[in-house]
Chains A and B, each alone.
Chain A
Amino acid sequence: MSDPTGTTRAAASEPAARGPVAGAAGAVASGLSLVRGRPVVSGPVEVAFAIRPGDRPLVAIGQAVVRGTPLADLVRDARTAVTAGPADPASAVPGDFWSAPAARVGAAETAERGELLFRSGGRWRIGTGEHPEPLEAPFAGIVADVRPGIAIRLRAPARAVAGREVLAGPSSGRLEIIAARDGEVRASEIDVGGAGAVLVVGAHIDAEAITRARAVGVRGIVVAALGVKERRDVLASERRGQAAVHGLPPFAILVLDGAGRQSIASPVMAVLERLAGRTVAIVGDPPCLVIDDSGVELPPPESDLVRVVAGPLAGAEGRWAGLAGPHRFPGGVQLEAGWVRFAGRPPIAIPIGELERFT
């Protein structure tokens, strides 16, 4: 926890004695309910896997899938092709997958299979590509919806730890913690032992370490914050990987908090520590870490724990000590504030907007 000594926050005066907050009624009475709540674990989950025109769904609505089941063939170099298309245009529906009859393959057609996009001037435009790669289900569930060219939705009675954003993915692997919640991982700390794993890397990871993780077969990274520069590097690397002949294995980065550097929240870290060694999945819509192991008991968050999400104390955690009312803060701004007690010290006023509580 960050030491609040020397903070530039509003000068603190001890508020009236307040006991620990207990239950919903206590939360309202103390003003804690005005602090934005962040669910640590939620469920069940319904996840959307985006697919593009040209990708081919391989599952149907209502179908049960296990981890690793191919959900769709994704074309790596998607493009448009012009073709004569189905012999009976009246029965063809945009969005259907179409393959040319065997006799026509190799004749005048340049692309013999793909997703029907539209028909114009007597010819069909189809979405197609040369190198299909499977999109595998990262967790078990029931297919809730299949919309060609748009998304496949998977529903499961699993639980999830929500994040801010996911880059690439989806992916799954066993969870390994290689850094403390306020730690940082460099490339030299990632080795082949991480192959197939989803690594929890603490507060920050640099672009070089991400590249190395990708190279040694790491399946995913969970990090508190990822800056714009690292984000850009990762996305460029993904594009290069997708364009390569052999493609790349699944990989995803779950960003828990945002772009500015801060540590992983302790209630979230407690959940991740409990999951160490178990298989988890990272998915992008919604961005979260999916836990489909119903046997694991996850620690609940403490109701009066609050965390500072921005400003000079970003990442610090303390105990809610009641509403402080409007306070003047650096920059001459006046904001609603709450008293927060850090490590048993006298409470100090923090803007309510800069706090989060855990539910």
Chain B
Amino acid sequence: MTRAPSALVVVDAGAATTAVALLGRPRDRWRLLGSLAVPAGAPEADLVAVLAARVAGADPELAEAVGLADGQQLGDLPRLASRSAPLRTLAVLGASRRAVALLEQVAARTGWRVQGASTESHDPREMTELALRADVSAVLVAAGDPPGPDERAALDDLASLVAAVARRRPELRVILGGSLRGRQAWTESLGDDPGGDPGRIVEAPSVGSRREPDEGLRSILDGLLDDPRDGRRALRAAVASLADLLDRRIELFEVGHDGGARVVAAPGAAGDDPASSSIVTARGALVPPDPGDALVDQVLGWTAGSQDRHRMGDRLRDLRSVPWADATGDGARLRLAAARAALTRIAAATPELAELPPADVTIVTGGAFAAAPPAAVALALADTVRRTGATQVATDPARLLGPIGTIEDPAERRSLLADVAADLLVPLGSMVLAAGLGARRDDAPVGRLLLEHGGETTRHELAAGELAFLDLPPGTPATATFEFRETARLGRRTRHVAVPVSGGIAGLLVDLRDIPLRLPDRRDRRRAVLGSWAGLAWPGDDR
């Protein structure tokens, strides 16, 4: 008789680090026994061996019960794995700057790294050079249907150029949209046998206006990156199952080495499947490739310390090339400044997700947050994703969500999540954002907060523009009652509201700062403000 496995290796092979977790089923449910993350490239078997030895050292009986006591069998353990797909570059070509900008706007909301060129800004040799570049995996070329007046003159040249490149690079994927498809210049230049897989040339919708939905083109671009083991894409399935399981609206933000993701999921009602939406964007990377001045400015804008632009550029380049290093001390602060910039880019790329009802639970995940102090992670989220309301904040430090999301069968996925959900999510605390308090100066009293938990009530006077962390032990359910002097926005407009919150390592974050956040333009004042907020979140003796 075959014995059901009692231990499972879960691997998330990221672009920067590899995380390995051991799950065990000593009795009737799976439990997280331990996890470990080290720079990518470390032998997975060695990571498993180290973890198994730790489990055996800490709890020999448990190790025996799940079959980890005998190291010889580690290689035979079942394995659930996800990986980060390598970053791929998409050349976006168009017959006008306007058309290219529209296409780039759509492509930026996918996992592609985007490089654009138009016939208005580049000469044909430069555009050919871009499309021929070895790191370019696909070319997106499209025009309006019918073409706009700024496109018409160059459409034949553009079609011929891309067709010639497609003939020269039989491995190149071509996404051809709009009025280009039927043009004689395209068919003549491509010839009867352009080589390569005929399916590599894909038709796409026309370029629409900025207001039109982009799902058609975006799904085609995402489809070209489809990888059933891609951990970032698998997050959507995992979060949807988790939302259904916990019967909570869940939002997830992920910042990784080569991209980021935002997922929103709601539980299914009346037996329906859970609803979910997600955007994966290469612009959500902690430090995108070849960091330039714009990125340096973005990160400097979130830095409380004084650094010149060149030094910041050096550090960002090193963070890009050695992303697993420099994670302590000042490096940890730099990492979270870069993460704030990345979260801001993700939020900017996902406006439609921000319009959905607020989440009950917000999960922050990715290597950028893996080792940072919980309060600093919660503050980074509050700084960048500013919506009124209350949400519980949690992390997935063992990086289980990606691998679990690769399980194709929803029932099986849900079953495993049901076992490990309590181990998987580490509660950082809760976050309450309110706005529209009406006070004209900072520190003016605007109301009070009564935090009731375990029969105790903590009273806190609220001040305009306030940011405060209130102690609330992990796992402690509480009710936060806000009594404002004037009507405020806290999910809805109100003067008196009670919201359920729960504790975490960071406690309860009360944020009455502006929405959107306003920071001084002068760098020294800005740094002082950021420094005062950071002082609440970072351990004081560890600067």
Contact = CB atoms under 8 A, between A and B. Distances in A.
Interface in A87-132: 93-95, 117-121, 125, 127
B196 interface: no
B326 A352 contact: no
B440 interface: no
A53 interface: yes
Contacts of B124: 80, 117-118, 125
Contacts of B329: 8, 311-312, 329-331
Contacts of A53: 125, 128-129, 132
B310 A229 contact: yes
B216 interface: no
Contacts of B327: 329, 333, 335, 351, 353-354
Nearest to A82: B124
Interface string B316-357: 011001101111111111000000000000000000000000
A33 B54 CA distance: 16
B373 interface: yes
Given A80-B123, A229-B310, A310-B318, A117 B330 contact: no
Contacts of B310: 227-229
B315 A332 contact: no
B123 A28 contact: no
Given A127-B125, A259-B317, A323 B50 contact: yes
Interface string B513-543: 0000000000000000000000000110011
B123 to A, nearest CB: 5
Given A258-B317, A333-B372, A118 B322 contact: no
A54 B124 CA distance: 11
Interface string A244-279: 000000000000001110000000000000000000
A113 B289 CA distance: 36
Interface stretch (B163-171, B232-240, B443-451): B163-171
A339 to B, nearest CB: 14
Q: From DSSP, what is the main secondary structure of chain B's interface residues? A: helix
Interface stretch (B35-43, B107-115, B250-258): B35-43
Nearest to A353: B324
Nearest to A78: B125
Contact of B160 (A118, A127, A310): A118
A10 to B, nearest CB: 9
B328 A119 contact: no
A310 B329 CA distance: 11
A331 B317 contact: no
Given A80-B124, A330-B328, A36 B41 contact: yes
Contacts of B543: 330-331
A54 B325 contact: no
A151 interface: yes
Interface residues of A, number: 56
A159 interface: no
B168 A336 contact: no
A37 B321 CA distance: 15
Interface in B135-171: 156-157, 159-161, 163-165, 167-169
B157 A120 contact: yes
Contact of A260 (B38, B165, B318, B372): B318
A227 B314 contact: yes
Given A311-B326, A331-B539, A353-B38, A94 B164 contact: yes
Interface in A340-355: 351-354
B313 interface: yes
Contacts of A151: 134
Contacts, number: 184
Given A33-B42, A36-B39, A258 B156 contact: no
A299 B322 CA distance: 26
A310 B313 CA distance: 15
B189 to A, nearest CB: 6
A57 interface: no
A212 interface: no
A78 B17 CA distance: 41
Given A53-B128, A121-B156, A311 B318 contact: no
A334 B327 CA distance: 9
B313 A259 contact: yes
B538 A310 contact: no
Contacts of B47: 34
A232 to B, nearest CB: 9
Contacts of A34: 38, 42, 46-47, 50
B180 interface: no
B331 A258 contact: no
A290 interface: no
A31 interface: yes
A39 B191 CA distance: 47
Contacts of A28: 43, 46, 49
B65 interface: no
A259 B315 CA distance: 7
B420 interface: no
A332 B538 contact: yes
Nearest to B156: A120
A306 to B, nearest CB: 13
A216 interface: no
Contact of B376 (A127, A259, A332): A332
B134 A48 contact: yes
Interface in B6-51: 17, 36-43, 46-47, 49-50
A52 interface: yes
A184 to B, nearest CB: 16
Contacts of A333: 327-328, 332, 371-373
Nearest to A352: B38
B185 interface: yes
A144 to B, nearest CB: 14
Nearest to A118: B164
A155 interface: no
A304 to B, nearest CB: 16
A148 B325 CA distance: 39
B405 to A, nearest CB: 25
A164 B328 CA distance: 23
Interface string A14-37: 000000000000001001011111
29 contacts: A28-B46, A33-B46, A35-B38, A37-B41, A80-B124, A94-B165, A95-B164, A117-B161, A118-B157, A118-B163, A118-B189, A119-B164, A120-B161, A125-B161, A149-B128, A229-B313, A258-B322, A259-B313, A323-B50, A325-B54, A331-B330, A332-B538, A332-B539, A332-B542, A333-B328, A353-B17, A353-B38, A353-B327, A354-B325
Given A34-B46, A53-B125, A150-B133, 16 more contacts: A33-B46, A36-B38, A36-B324, A50-B134, A52-B129, A117-B161, A118-B128, A119-B189, A164-B321, A259-B318, A323-B50, A325-B54, A332-B332, A333-B372, A336-B38, A353-B327
Interface of B: 17, 36-43, 46-47, 49-50, 54, 123-126, 128-129, 132-134, 156-157, 159-161, 163-165, 167-169, 185, 189, 310-311, 313-315, 317-318, 321-322, 324-333, 371-373, 376, 538-539, 542-543
Task: Give the 3 A-B CB pairs with smallest separation, nearest first.
Answer: A228-B313, A331-B332, A310-B325
